[in-house]
Amino acid sequence: MAYRVKEIYYTLQGEGLHTGRPAIFCRFSGCNLACRFCDTDFDGTDGPGGGVFESPETLAINAAKMFPGPGTHPFLAFVVCTGGEPALQIDEALVAAFHNHGLEVGIETNGTLPLPGGIDWVCVSPKAGAELVIRSGDELKLVFPQEGAGPERYEHLNFKYFFLQPMDGPDLKANTQKAAEYCLSHPRWRLSVQTHKLLGIR
């Protein structure tokens, strides 16, 4: 199959457990949801490094070459498949191609679609009104607050780490305070701050 990718770029992961880790971001085009608070442009294939890739190998090569010295340290290089909703396109052939080029594979998904096997790090970000299909993984990252998607709805799920991420926008300061207070009173949850925005990087 062909893969439609908005952009591919190399930066520091800004959110969640891997905050500060150098990573290649592969942003797939398209999404199956329309979240009012979404802060990402995922339409088309016109971003830096973006395009239509006709094979898993071609996409994996284009992603791997972003990392300094790919292949010299297997699985030190980290590719984050994001979107939009990457589960609309990612498949086992692409995961295998990433692995063949020495990349550890992570995904940031809304959790409403099944995932192929072989992904090394699964981060689910639930959205209000959307039924979760992926109910276990490595990291659950909840944008907070969301009406109809309180943390208590998800804390029983089988994830290793639970993060609250303050909703961006004009109420960011208040949302950050609310998220911090919730984490302090519910210590299973950790605070995730969008450090890439604080640093002014991608």
Is 31 considered catalytic here? yes
**What would the two tokens of residue 38 be?**
């979404």
Is 39 considered catalytic here? yes
Is 53 considered catalytic here? no
Give the dihedral sign, CA 123/126/130/131. Answer: positive
Three-state DSSP class for residue 185? helix
Catalytic residue among 11, 19, 35, 58: 35
Catalytic residue among 38, 57, 99, 168: 38
Q: What is the dihedral of CA 190, 191, 195, 196, to 10 degrees?
A: 80
**What would the two tokens of residue 115 be?**
């995932």
Is 92 considered catalytic here? no
Catalytic residue among 19, 58, 112, 196: 196
Is 196 considered catalytic here? yes
Catalytic residue among 26, 28, 31, 53: 31
* Under 8 Å between Cβ of 194 and 188: no
Is 123 considered catalytic here? no
* Under 8 Å between Cβ of 116 and 140: no
Catalytic residue among 7, 15, 18, 25: 25
Catalytic residue among 85, 104, 108, 139: 108
Is 38 considered catalytic here? yes
Is 108 considered catalytic here? yes
Residues taking part in catalysis: 25, 31, 35, 38-40, 108, 196
